[in-house]
Structures are given as C-alpha cells and as structure tokens.
Amino acid sequence: MIQRIQTIYMFIVAIIMIALYIWFPQFTGADGEVVVDKNSLLIIIPIFASVILAIISIFKYKNRQTQFVLNRLNSLFIFALLGVFVYASLGVSGETEVSKKGIGLLPIISIVFLVLANKAIQKDERLVKSMDRLR
C-alpha cells in the first residue's frame, strides 16, 4: 500500500525539507554579523526531524492512526522552523535580497502537503470503517 496518494505527499515533504537545507541561505544582520546559518542547531534539528518523521510515516502505512499522529508531529517541527525563520528575518536588513526573506515559503508548502496527506489518511480510515460495517 505504499502507492497511496498520502505516500506521495509525504515523500514530497521529505524532498522539500532536504531541498530547504541544501539551498538555505545564511542570514546576516544589518551590521554584517551572521544571525542564522544552515549549520545552526535551530535549523538542523527541525529540518532533519521533519525528514525522518516523513520517511517513518511513509513506512507506517499499515497503521493509519500512527501515520496521522506522525504527520501532526511533523507539522509541529515545521512550525518551529518557521518560528526560527521569523526570528531570523527580524534581524535581516530591509535591503536584503527578496529570495533570502522568502525562504519561509518552502515550509508552508510542506505543511500544505502534510494536511493533504492527513486528509487522504482520514479518507482511507473512513473507507475501511465503512467496509467493516458491511461485514
């Protein structure tokens, strides 16, 4: 059952988070000092926790409730990462390139895919419960 649509959504989340780490810029403040870079624990922990949770959730396809809970936990890690981005963007000057300030779009896209995966998991759960009623 790995070929379900929620598996594709969770795989996309893992790919987006890996891409975010690869292309993460270094936030420098107005005075030129580094505010946050990609080797900071505030960045590494939420990104790789999100990737690991997405991969674990893909292989928990037999237990839909666990998959649902793991996706919710994954959303919390991504929200924590967004909080770090907001904190970092407060220290970035207004003249910084737009691409450095717009890096927070990738986690939001990841959250959207996690919500879509959870909706598909709930749909599967309802289908299984309706089939159990027919027996």
Comparison of pLDDT for 113 and 38, the residue scoring more: 113
In this model, does residue 98 exceed pLDDT 50? no
How many residues are listed for the chain in this entry?
A: 135
Instruction: Give the mean model confidence (pLDDT) for residues 91-107.
Output: 63
Report which of residues 112 and 99 the model is more confident about.
112
Residue bearing the bigger pLDDT, 130 or 88: 130
Q: What is the pLDDT of residue 30?
A: 61
Residue 56 or residue 33, greater confidence: 56
pLDDT at 33 over 80: no
Is residue 112 predicted with pLDDT exceeding 50?
Answer: yes
Q: What is the pTM of this model?
A: 0.82
**pLDDT exceeds cutoff 80 at 20:** yes
Q: Where are the domains of the chain?
A: 5-134
User: Is the pLDDT score of 100 beyond 90?
Assistant: no
- Mean pLDDT throughout 97-119? 80
- Give me the pLDDT at residue 43, please: 87
Average pLDDT over residues 27-35: 64
